[in-house]
Amino acid sequence: MFRKAYRLDAAQSAFLELQLEHLHAVAYDIRFPALKGRQFIPVDNSVNPGAETVAYEQGDAVGRAKLMADRAEDTPNIDVFSVKFTRPIREIGAHYTMTRKEMMSSAMTGMPLDTKRSIKTRRAVEQVIDDVAAIGAPAFGIATGFTNDPTVPQQAAAALWTTLTPAQIIADIGAAIARISAATEDTEIPNTIVLPPDRWNLIATTQNSDASDKTILDFILSSFRMITAVESWNRLQDAGTGSSRRMVVYDRSPDQLHQDIPEEFTLLEPLVKPRLTKVEAVAQTAGMVWTYPLSADYTDTI
């Protein structure tokens, strides 16, 4: 992993090699709770990192069976069709550096190398993965993401939730769930609601009624039994029409949506120069896709 390029004794070189391994382990283990793309969008790592594109087919059937008269032979034809969608796989890159003096001082004193750079590099790569999952990267051929896909049905709320009664807010949420049910003939059942943070806070802190000790959020979770989670994501603060607040109601299942990450965060072999060691980090993403967009619903201007 660490190529010796400095005039250090064997013990010093061994120490630095162990320190680099430690830095890499820390970078891989760190968690970033503020980046919620992985929380809301299932990850698929099955695509080979050597691939240039990722494709999926969205299929359906045409034709219906029917009741037949005696001796009838005019049975209806059932056929299938599919549409193929392709997205490019894009590489993400970043690096951090350590000077010769820093590494020699670390070896001399026995003090650990600074972990902040490796952690910040991991954070920078994860931020791009989160960005692409949320909104896509149109300049790189990934047109849309979780918050802005035109194939997901879109409606406007009755009015801004700050002007509505608890009953009217609940009606907006119920309408979104009903639209998914109607569009798919009860085939798709949503289980998750994601809201802008201020709207989540509104329903979490507002009583459902003067006669109840439940909040609107409590009422939603107890009354809409299919909904198992109501979450918040700042990505929805201005994702709607006219930069309005957007609610997403959907089935959080890898059968309905996923993000393709062919290569997770990877640190490459350090590049050792006379006075500087450079460590490159890479990852690959193809963004996310709604495999069945009718399993979701956008509600704007909430």
Does residue 54 surpass a pLDDT of 50?
yes
Q: What is the pLDDT of residue 113?
A: 65
pLDDT digits (tens, 9 = 90+) for 93-124: 999 888 888 877 777 766 666 677 888 899 99
Q: What confidence score (pLDDT) does residue 4 get?
A: 45
pLDDT in tens, 134-179: 999 999 999 999 999 999 999 999 999 999 999 999 999 999 999 9
pLDDT score, position 70: 76
- 167-206 exposure pattern, b = at least 16 Cβ within 10 A, e = fewer: eebbebbeebbebbbeeeeeebebbbbbbbeebbebbeee
Region 252-267 average pLDDT: 95
> Any idea of the CA torsion for 21, 23, 24, 30, to the nearest 10 degrees?
140
Which pTM does this prediction carry? 0.83
**Per-residue pLDDT at 73:** 73
- Give the pLDDT confidence of 180-228 residue by residue, as tens digits: 999 988 889 999 999 999 999 999 999 998 888 899 999 999 999 999 9
DSSP secondary-structure letter at 119? H
pLDDT of 196 reads 98
* Model pLDDT, residue 157: 96
What is the model's pLDDT at position 14?
58
Structure tokens at 236: 């929805």
Which pLDDT value is given to residue 78?
61
Strand-pair category, 229-232 with 192-195: parallel
Instruction: Using DSSP bridges, classify how beta strands 257-260 and 229-232 pair: parallel, antiparallel or unpaired.
Output: unpaired
Q: Say what the pLDDT of residue 5 is.
A: 47
Lowest mean pLDDT: which of 47-61, 203-217, 274-288? 47-61
pLDDT at 68: 72
pLDDT of residue 6: 46
Amino acid present at 222? S
pLDDT at 15: 58
- What's the pLDDT band for 85 if we cut at 50, 70, 90? confident
Of the CA atoms within 13 Å of residue 181, those in its CB half-sphere come to 9
Six token digits for residue 6: 């400095």
Predicted confidence at residue 284, as pLDDT, reads 98
Task: List the domain boundaries for the chain.
Answer: 10-55+86-144+259-290, 154-258+293-300
Asked if the 154-258+293-300 domain carries CATH number 3.40.50.300, the reply is no
Structural fold of domain 10-55+86-144+259-290: Major capsid protein gp5 fold (3.30.2400)
Measure the CA–CA gap between 111 and 120, rounded to whole angstroms: 20
Q: Tens digit of pLDDT for each residue in 13-48?
A: 555 666 767 666 666 666 655 689 999 999 999 999
